[in-house]
Structure 1
Amino acid sequence: MSPLLEAEQAVLGAVLLDPGQLRQLDWLTPEHFHRPVHRALFAALRHLHADRHPASSAEDSVPLSWVTDAVAEAGRHVRGLTASYAHSLISACPRPGHAPVYGRMVLEGAIHRSVTAHAIRLHQAARADALQGEVEAALRCADVLRDVLNDLARRWGTEPRPVDPGAPPTSGSPAPTPGWANVDEEEQVLLGVLAERPRSMDEVVGWLRPADFADPARGEIYRCLGALHHRGEPVDRITLLWEAQRRGLLADGTLSRDQISAICDGVGPGSAEWLGEQVMRSSVTRVAAASARSIRALAEDEALAPGRLINHALHALGPLDEVRIRWHAANGRPAPTPPAAPLPNGPPSAQVHAALARSAPRPISPPSAPSGSTASSAAVRPPSRGHG
């Protein structure tokens, strides 16, 4: 049995033993449980507690009706739940007072699952958009994923902010599929147009970048064309070849004479702005898919703490934000500003509550008591962390 499943059983057993534990678990929802039967039972327990079940105000022993009524209520929404299973949950709880810690474990598993699911949706939307020549579905999924990350951060009790993970995550996530989008022809024709009519560079230089090309070699040719344009130098096969040589692109094998000749000799009619938009559209979906793969790899790392997972995932969305801004610039539209998590008067109360539910504050060493003080040792004992 996995630790996550044991944690789900323990938190349910704690609430069945002590309904008052629900007051410390108001940040935990039924959707955070992985098993459907656990989701239904926790929802039933919350419903009975909200309806002021007699067990909610019991001071001594909890009446058996608390268990039987919870099983009956949950049985209306899920099949297979029995009273014997509820009693096995009670046996699976080591200490009811540790319910907030068990709940934290359940929430941690839910965060990883939720981020994984939304990353998969983003990747699927990017693939579909690439096939249809669109970008809007991928951008909407990215916005949903960002909102989910901000909401999970508040529930976990941390401030959502992008943090660089420092190293690519290791995971069994699938590698990028070759031939993501068939934009070879558009890229080739665009470079030919820019080489033949250098003034056309003014139509795309403000928003198209070398990294937007699916073929890195063509991206380097675009970089060389941009350098010549920036310096006001003439553009032809010889000057372009010379610029590539100066950058070491011929020596390291990134480019060849034949590739540059093919660009300069393969001139055809076309609009640089329109062709640039096709390259840009493909770049948006590729970057969205790459961000989704990175976030999924992060979420599948069970050793990654939720706060770090959320912040690293927000950082992984950064490249998509940058390419989105340029995509809107290419279409003459202002880019939407991603909503920041406002904390004008300190963290929200729910955020503070979630953080306190995870750990108690460290004790502050009291000043030395004067001689003759009657303060007992119990008065300066550190607060309990719920382990006894």
Structure 2
Amino acid sequence: MNPLLRAEQAVLGSLLLDPGQLSHLDWLAPDHFYRPVHQALYAALRKLRDDDHPALAEKTVPLSWVTDAVDEASLHVRGLTAVYAHTLVSACPRAAHAPVYGRMVLEGAIHRSITRHAIRLHQAARADALRGEVEGALHCADVLNGVLSELAQRWGSEPRPVAPATPPATAPVAPPLVRADQVAEDERFLLAVLAERPKAMEEVVGWLRPDDFADPAHGQVYRCLGALHHRCEPIDRITLLWEAQRRGLMGDGTLSSDQLAAICDGVGSGSAEWLGEQVMRSSVTRTAANSARTVRALADNEALSPGRLINHALHALGPLDEVRTRWQAAIGRPAPAPTAPTPSPNGPPPTQVHAALSRSTPRSVSPPPARLGSAPARVVPRPPSRGHG
């Protein structure tokens, strides 16, 4: 059986056996459960607790605690019977382990929530790529970033980007075919303008990078143009061909003389800034899609603990933040600097401490009893410290 399903049944069974365990699960919400019937039953148990059900004041749990919970939950979901409630009771090994079972339910909810928002980011990125926009992808990225911060606080950890030891394996996804030809044409057109009018490099060199080009060969040509511009050397088809050869691009098959000739012979009139924005727009949506796929691959890894999953997902969104900053600079709207959370002088927030303690409460270790018949250990007096009488 699915371990997550067993955990949901166990936590509900423990609450049916011991209503007092609800006081240890304030950090667990009904929507953290996967099955709707479990969501409804957990919400019903919390409502009975808030309404001061008589079972809370009795030493032995009456049958009315179970039947009233089933009746309340049945108002919101179908198919719940008292027989299933007793099945939940039998699925609970120890009622006192309710916080541990709840932690397992929360882990599953964190993985599902991150997966759901990663899918939305990927869909928004592909839709923006088809429309030639970026707003939808950037909005979904902001939502995912906020969700990761909220989940970290609920889990009781500090959200910080951490690179995984082993990059997650993601299946390659082809770019949208509707825009692929247009993107390649914009890139060739931009390179032709820069080769024909080298001074136009000043319009794009501050925010456009070689990795922003969808075609790696185009990115290498732009890298050569940037190197010549940085060294204040003349730019024409001969110097560009020589720079590509010096970088080994001709020998390894990345570029050919015919490709460079086609770029240099292209139409060199146009706005380099406008064409650079088109390239950047494609780079934003492409990076957003790649980040979404990486985050989803991380969330699908059930071996990752929620703390590591959140930190790795924040790291996967890092390239998108970097591209977004340059995109904002390209269109003349610099992105606001992220405000780092200021640490509280009194320590972490109480909710964060409570979430962490609810997951792992240290047990007091009693000293080992002395064996019968053994002599007490001799206490050696501590010598006085130097400089103290």
Alpha-carbon spacing, 1:338–1:141, altered in 2? closer, same or farther (3 Å): farther
Contact 2:125 2:289 in 1 (8 A): yes
**Structure 1 residue matching 2:249: 3-state secondary structure:** coil
Alpha-carbon spacing, 1:119–1:255, altered in 2? closer, same or farther (3 Å): same
Name the CA distance, whole Å, in 2 between partners of 1:196 and 1:269.
8
**Structure 2 residue matching 1:71: 3-state secondary structure:** helix
Name the CA distance, whole Å, in 2 between partners of 1:153 and 1:359.
16
Name the CA distance, whole Å, in 2 between partners of 1:65 and 1:84.
14
**Structure 2 residue matching 1:47: 3-state secondary structure:** helix
- Residue 176 of structure 1 pairs with residue 177 of structure 2: no
Name the CA distance, whole Å, in 2 between partners of 1:268 and 1:75.
71
Q: CA deviation at 1:90?
A: 0.6
Question: Where does residue 387 of structure 2 map in the other structure?
Answer: none
Report % sequence identity: 73
Q: CA deviation at 1:174?
A: 4.2
Question: Where does residue 118 of structure 1 map in the other structure?
Answer: 117
Alpha-carbon spacing, 1:314–1:143, altered in 2? closer, same or farther (3 Å): same
Contact 1:192 1:265 in 2 (8 A): yes
Name the CA distance, whole Å, in 1 between partners of 2:7 and 2:61.
22
Alpha-carbon spacing, 1:13–1:211, altered in 2? closer, same or farther (3 Å): same
Q: Which runs of 5+ in 1 are unaligned?
A: 374-388
Contact 2:189 2:267 in 1 (8 A): yes
Mapping of residues 274-313 of structure 1, within 5 Å: 274-313=274-313
Question: Where does residue 89 of structure 1 map in the other structure?
Answer: 88
Q: CA deviation at 1:268?
A: 3.6
- Residue 267 of structure 1 pairs with residue 264 of structure 2: no
- Offset from partner CA, 1:8-31 (integer Å, 9 cap, x none): 000000001111101000000001
Alpha-carbon spacing, 1:142–1:243, altered in 2? closer, same or farther (3 Å): same
Alpha-carbon spacing, 1:317–1:260, altered in 2? closer, same or farther (3 Å): same
Q: CA deviation at 1:5?
A: 0.2
- Offset from partner CA, 1:243-296 (integer Å, 9 cap, x none): 011111111111111111111111242100000000000000000000000000
Alpha-carbon spacing, 1:365–1:227, altered in 2? closer, same or farther (3 Å): farther
**Structure 1 residue matching 2:162: 3-state secondary structure:** coil
Contact 1:160 1:341 in 2 (8 A): no
Question: Where does residue 31 of structure 1 map in the other structure?
Answer: 31
Alpha-carbon spacing, 1:2–1:142, altered in 2? closer, same or farther (3 Å): same
Question: Where does residue 205 of structure 2 map in the other structure?
Answer: 205
Name the CA distance, whole Å, in 2 between partners of 1:306 and 1:204.
41
**Structure 2 residue matching 1:250: 3-state secondary structure:** coil
Normalising to structure 2: TM-score of the pair?
0.91
Question: Where does residue 326 of structure 2 map in the other structure?
Answer: 326
Deviation above 6 Å: which 4+ runs of structure 1?
A: none
Question: Where does residue 2 of structure 1 map in the other structure?
Answer: 2
Q: CA deviation at 1:342?
A: 4.3
Contact 2:44 2:73 in 1 (8 A): yes
- Residue 143 of structure 1 pairs with residue 116 of structure 2: no
- Residue 80 of structure 1 pairs with residue 54 of structure 2: no
Question: Where does residue 362 of structure 2 map in the other structure?
Answer: 361
Q: CA deviation at 1:145?
A: 0.4
Question: Where does residue 192 of structure 2 map in the other structure?
Answer: 192
Name the CA distance, whole Å, in 2 between partners of 1:265 and 1:77.
70
Alpha-carbon spacing, 1:136–1:17, altered in 2? closer, same or farther (3 Å): same
Alpha-carbon spacing, 1:364–1:276, altered in 2? closer, same or farther (3 Å): farther
Alpha-carbon spacing, 1:289–1:36, altered in 2? closer, same or farther (3 Å): same
Q: CA deviation at 1:157?
A: 1.0
Contact 2:129 2:176 in 1 (8 A): no
One-letter amino acid of the counterpart of residue 282, structure 2: S
Normalising to structure 1: TM-score of the pair?
0.91
Q: Which has the larger radius of gyration?
A: 2
Contact 1:150 1:341 in 2 (8 A): no
Name the CA distance, whole Å, in 2 between partners of 1:364 and 1:234.
76
Q: CA deviation at 1:65?
A: 1.1
Alpha-carbon spacing, 1:332–1:227, altered in 2? closer, same or farther (3 Å): same
Contact 1:193 1:270 in 2 (8 A): yes
Which is worse superposed, 194-203 or 355-364?
A: 355-364
One-letter amino acid of the counterpart of residue 166, structure 2: A
